[in-house]
Amino acid sequence: MKLNNFVKLIIAIGVCELAGVVGSVFTVSSIPTWYEGLAKPALNPPSWVFGPAWTTLYLLMGIAVFLVWKKGFERKEVKVALGVFGVQLFLNAIWSIIFFGLKNPGWAFVEIIFLWLAILATIIAFSKISRLAVWLLVPYILWVSFAGYLNYSIWTLNQETPVACTMDAKLCPDGSYVSRTGPNCEFALCPDAPQWSAIKQAIANCEVESVWQTHDRRAGAKLKSGEELAAVEPELDDIIDLAIAAEPECGEILMATE
């Protein structure tokens, strides 16, 4: 049964828009969550631009397919051209699955390279049948080129490089050692010498209340200076360890009053 041109046009546009619908299943849920949290390049357009842009591009693709299809599907070059188009349309749909569904910009960039090459092959195949169809695909390959730049930039901007700190230590004035810590592997701050000496003296005399009062003053000063609580709390263990080593009985009392 032969289809009239209007029906062919509707089918061609519908199939192309369907590819966009498949991709949007994975895109819609990821844009306000995972995608919004990514670092993006300066030329990245607002998220709302992508929907209208792709809808328009799928429309142009559908019209281009129609212009080729109406030349006669029985012709070999038409079958080849539509076959190549089908490959690129499949690659178009799975890019969204890889990028937004799997949240993997690296593999999505590899895939978009193959997509770009498939679009170029489609343009070459269409050029043998309809010049107008070729021009209708020009905005598509330009947009995918831009999308490739965005994909690559997002991939590189969001790569996490783990930092391994060296195990060296720094000798502090009070005789203690501090190691490297933090994202930049800087040395931790040395204990405050006067207050640390006061803690040692209080331990020697087993003045428990004085030990904790001095520690509280040190901790408060450090928190005010911007240190995180997680970096201050370990000093409690250091104080108890020191007390147990120097004055075991006092150490036991400190553990009971911690």
What string of pLDDT tens digits covers the 258 residues of the chain? 467 888 999 999 999 999 999 988 888 888 888 888 899 999 999 988 999 999 999 999 999 999 999 998 899 999 999 999 999 999 999 999 999 999 999 999 999 999 999 999 999 999 999 999 999 999 999 999 999 999 999 999 998 755 566 666 665 655 566 666 655 566 665 655 555 566 566 556 666 565 556 556 555 555 445 555 455 455 555 655 555 555 566 556 545 555
Domain co-membership, 207 together with 139: no
Domain co-membership, 220 together with 134: no
Is 135 within the bounds of a domain? yes
Domain boundary among 157, 173, 208: 157
Give CA–CA dist 66/99, Å, rounded. 29
Is 178 within the bounds of a domain? no
Residues 6+ apart with CB under 8 A from 16: 58, 59, 61, 62, 65, 89
The order of strands in the sheet holding 186-187 is: 169-171, 177-181, 186-187
Query: pTM, whole model, 2 decimals?
Result: 0.62
Is 134 within the bounds of a domain? yes
Is 143 within the bounds of a domain? yes
Domain containing residue 144: CATH number: 1.20.1260.100
Q: Say how many domains are in the chain.
A: 2
Domain co-membership, 142 together with 217: no
The 10s digit of each residue's pLDDT in 208-219 is: 565 556 556 555
Is 186 within the bounds of a domain? no
Residues 6+ apart with CB under 8 A from 80: 125
Is 110 within the bounds of a domain? yes
Q: Which residue has the tokens 């079958």?
A: 79
Domain boundary among 136, 157, 178: 157
- CA nearest to 195, candidates 222, 177, 234, 169: 222
Is 174 within the bounds of a domain? no
Summary count for the chain: helices (H), strands (E): 10, 3
Is 115 within the bounds of a domain? yes
Domain co-membership, 13 together with 87: yes
Task: State how far the alpha carbon of 153 is from the alpha carbons of 81, 85, 105, 190, in Å.
Answer: 32, 27, 9, 41
Domain co-membership, 47 together with 97: yes
Q: Domain span at residue 10?
A: 5-157
Task: State how far the alpha carbon of 2 is from the alpha carbons of 68, 69, 73, 91, 180, in Å.
Answer: 16, 12, 11, 29, 77
